[in-house]
Copies of this chain bind each other. A is one copy, B any other.
Amino acid sequence: MKVALVGIGKIARDQHVPAINGSKDWELAATVSRHGSVDGVEAFADLDTLLAERPDIEVVSLCLPPVPRFDYAVAALRAGRHVMLEKPPGATVAECHALEAMAREAGVSVYATWHSREAAQVNQARDWLKDKRLKSLKVTWKEDVRRWHPGQEWIWKAGGLGVFDPGINALSIVTEILPDAIRLTAASLEFPENRETPIAASLVFAHPHGADISAVFDWRQEGDQTWMIEAETDDGVLRLTEGGARLSINGETAAEQDADGNPLLGEYPRLYAKMAKLVRDGGIDMDLAPMTLVADAFLLGRRVTVEPFEE
């Protein structure tokens, strides 16, 4: 299947292009970007031209920041193309609902991807937790924004989510591995005096069977970086680390190869494999659970002003 990649920035180069090139399902047939391109691939400066000139490209994958992404998604859906959305699937919840409705009307697939859910060990964590009684779950997501988001001004603008841009990855894993729905009950959001989005947040959730669930997100972490979820159950402790790539259960590390000794597939190859299946089956996958928890954190959270942040 031919796919066009829209928005050739860091995430496209680091993740989408290698995943597409490494897959038997996909051919990277074109790019759309005002600045970037990919060697050997036809480059368009705007999406409308691509949609008009390349009717053979059935699928459009959008790697733009959330705020401008909606109009591109609408154009692609109206042109009858299947659409794959980087996370978060929209700048607002209403946008996501609108895109889902349009895809249904156009009879095409739309996939709200959550790349962290496809990290190598997330499925194993989910399978192990399925029949355990959860006592507590703690998310610690601490990274250095200067290292991971250099020069990305949009993440600091209203709608850019701030520390929830990585934090929503953690919430996408939590909502995948827990068999029960959780809901936010309290949040504190730290906004640098000179920025429109938070640099840190702490969240408290309610669990239907009373487990203690909390999360801490922080973008000011220098040195060691932490993307960890720890769950305490009646049958021991699960630790999912490195953003879902490593798993230990009661201190024992889970296998990192498959039965043939190959490394487990990582995030983006699995996203593109799922998109291929979705298009073949004519499906829509628009799970908004992580997005809902983030919107709720902004809705319910206390805002705290902290010292200015300069990159």
Contact = CB atoms under 8 A, between A and B. Distances in A.
A183 B292 contact: no
A241 B210 CA distance: 46
Contact of A93 (B93, B182, B302): B93
A178 to B, nearest CB: 13
A26 interface: no
Nearest to A158: B302
Interface stretch (A94-102, A117-125, A232-240): A94-102
A295 interface: yes
A161 to B, nearest CB: 8
B98 A292 contact: no
Interface in A183-233: 183-184, 186-187, 191, 196
A292 B97 contact: yes
Contacts of A159: 299-300
A64 to B, nearest CB: 16
Contact of A296 (B94, B182, B196, B305): B94
Contacts of A292: 93-94, 97
A269 interface: no
Contacts of A181: 94, 97-98, 101
Interface in A262-306: 292-296, 298-303, 305
A91 interface: yes
A92 interface: yes
B158 A92 contact: no
Nearest to A302: B158
Interface residues of A, number: 30
A91 B186 CA distance: 10
Contacts of A293: 94
A307 to B, nearest CB: 15
Given A93-B93, A295-B295, A296-B295, A301 B158 contact: yes
Contacts of A303: 158, 191, 196, 303
Interface in A10-55: none
Contact of A295 (B95, B98, B299, B302): B299
Contacts of A299: 91-93, 159, 294-295, 298-299
A296 B292 CA distance: 10
Contact of A92 (B92, B98, B296): B296
Contacts of A186: 158
B158 A93 contact: no
29 contacts: A91-B299, A91-B300, A92-B183, A92-B299, A93-B296, A94-B181, A94-B182, A94-B183, A94-B184, A94-B292, A94-B293, A94-B296, A95-B183, A97-B181, A97-B292, A98-B183, A158-B300, A158-B302, A159-B299, A191-B303, A196-B302, A196-B303, A294-B299, A295-B296, A295-B298, A295-B299, A298-B298, A303-B303, A305-B305
Nearest 7 pairs of A and B residues by beta carbon = A94-B183, A92-B296, A295-B295, A298-B298, A158-B302, A298-B299, A159-B300
